Amino acid sequence: MPGTALVLAGFGVFAISAIKTEESMPYILALDQGTTSSRAIVFDLEGQPQAMAQQEFMQHFPQPGWVEHDPLEIWQTQLQVAQEAIQRAAIQPSEIVALGITNQRETTVLWERATGKPVHRAIVWQDRRTAPICDELRKGGYEGLFRQKTGLVLDAYFSGTKVKWLLENVPGFRERAGKGELCFGTIDSWLIYNLTGGRVHATDVSNASRTLLFNLHTQRWDEELLGILGLPKALLPEVRPSAGLFGETLPELFGAPIPIAGVAGDQQAALFGQACFTPGMAKNTYGTGCFLLMHTGQEQVTSQNGLLTTVAWQLEGGPLEYALEGSVFVAGAVVQWLRDGLGIIQNSSEIEHLARQVSSTDGVYLVPAFVGLGAPYWDPYARGTVVGLTRGSSKAHLARAALEAIAYQSRDVLEAMEADAGLQLSELRMDGGATVNDLLMQFQADILGTPVVRPQVTETTALGAAYLAGVGVGLLTQAQIAQRWAVQKRFEPAMGQEERARLYSGWKKAVERAKSWVDA
């Protein structure tokens, strides 16, 4: 099959060295392909992680505002950690009943249909090179059309303009795309293609809804939008439900074929993993970026406050379900910047200890608009800004300001979401790597004035992919998943209203300093 040679390059037949003697149990393998690392977790059907493996991979910054990944490195690291997680779990391949995939969304890959070879580095969701294309589309009067059909704003964040850029700027790509020689996919499609040896070129509805090409009303790729962007339909993957059979992995990858039965973008997967199945329930995920989603059921809520209408998921045979989303581009990435860019910490885990060395930022605000501002501002030309520095400012103040910036950005989004939904949340469920930081979690509750809840399993993105796969093979129901969700710690607001208002007012002033001159 096309792509098989590529898939197997550098990897021998995978063998399980550990043999279990007890009665066989069913497990689900979740692949969590993120912006800075590839992870794999083996879960049991109770949603408990049994083993995990993770590898970071290279970030490429060819020009200011440009962010790229090597698709082959993504595939190789993802395959390696999946194999490693199975070995660590000491289980047989036959015990894995399903595989779920969750992925960094909007990141754009083009590859050769015949060989499976990528023809360009992946353009990452954070990349801002297509902001001028979005400007031109707005000038052409297309913003309302895209918003009405896709639920999205015209921003460089999304995949459609990234594909347009590739076809317009790389010689030969447009001609090859027109002939059907190239495939486009978000990272889920890229992984599915490789896992199945080129047999399946598909995506799920949640990832499709992040491309600027998927019509929420017809639930299909939109011919008019493809025409406006100049993209041939032959490039596109087939769109399928989030829970259902996509295909089987090549048996030589893991020692046995495994059904791929659940696929969702990382934020939708986290919403599912947090068991936010009832309209009005919401979660916030702290990863490279920060993403707050509220489930709206079968209703498409059109935002009046800079948020996105997005597909939450679709179960096989069921309707599309939707969410309101606020996307913050830089959250955990600001901690990486303190580590890699400034060198004031050696490991990301040191940030809380450093920030606790001071009781406040002493008026320092850090606006991490390194790749522009997302919701609710949507300013691609904003840039990172630090205000309020004095001679007494230290690296501890900067560390604390970085953590507080994550919480302030989440409040920006939550206020917009509550206005759109016409309700006030009674609590916000939290997940992602930064939720282990108690200082951040408490400040988040304080600046929101709303309790925040950390679940027992904080890897809810991978858990959501596993749960979708379990539903996809008929072994789990949403009712069972809701029963398994449990609280690990609840953070109650402890800050007075006057102090909360004072601090947030300072943040809003700092954001104004970071905004582009065009909008000033």
Query: Which amino acids are annotated as binding site for ADP, given as ranges?
Result: 35, 39, 288, 332, 433, 437
What is the phi/psi pair of residue 337, to 5°? -65, -40
CA distance 289 to 157: 12
- CA dist 283 → 244, 274, 365, 437, 460 (Å): 24, 7, 25, 17, 10
Strand partners, 184: 110
- Tell me the H-state helices in 90-186: 131-139, 143-150, 159-169, 173-178
Helix (H, G, I), strand (E, B) or coil at 261: strand
Residues 102 and 31 sit within 8 Å (Cβ to Cβ): yes
Residues 438 and 352 sit within 8 Å (Cβ to Cβ): yes
Would you mind telling me the total number of residues written for the chain in this entry?
520
Annotated binding site for ATP: 35-37, 288, 332, 336, 433
**Contacts with 346 (C-beta within 8 Å, 6 or more apart), sequence order:** 339
Annotated binding site: 35-37, 39, 105-106, 157, 266-267, 288, 332, 336, 433, 437
Residue 188 identity: D
CA distance 335 to 36: 13
| Both structure tokens of 290 | 């920060």
Q: What b-and-e string marks burial along 292-318, b requiring 16 or more CB atoms within 10 Å of the CB?
A: bbbbbeeebbebebbbbbbbbbbbeee
Annotated binding site for sn-glycerol 3-phosphate: 35, 105-106, 157, 266
What is the phi/psi pair of residue 461, to 5°? -65, -55
Annotated binding site for glycerol: 105-106, 157, 266-267
Strands 282-286 and 428-432: parallel
Residue 340 identity: D
What is the phi/psi pair of residue 114, to 5°? -75, -35
Residue 473 identity: V
Strands 452-455 and 428-432: parallel
The DSSP output letter for 342 is: I
Question: Which sign does the torsion angle of CA 457, 461, 464, 466 carry?
Answer: negative
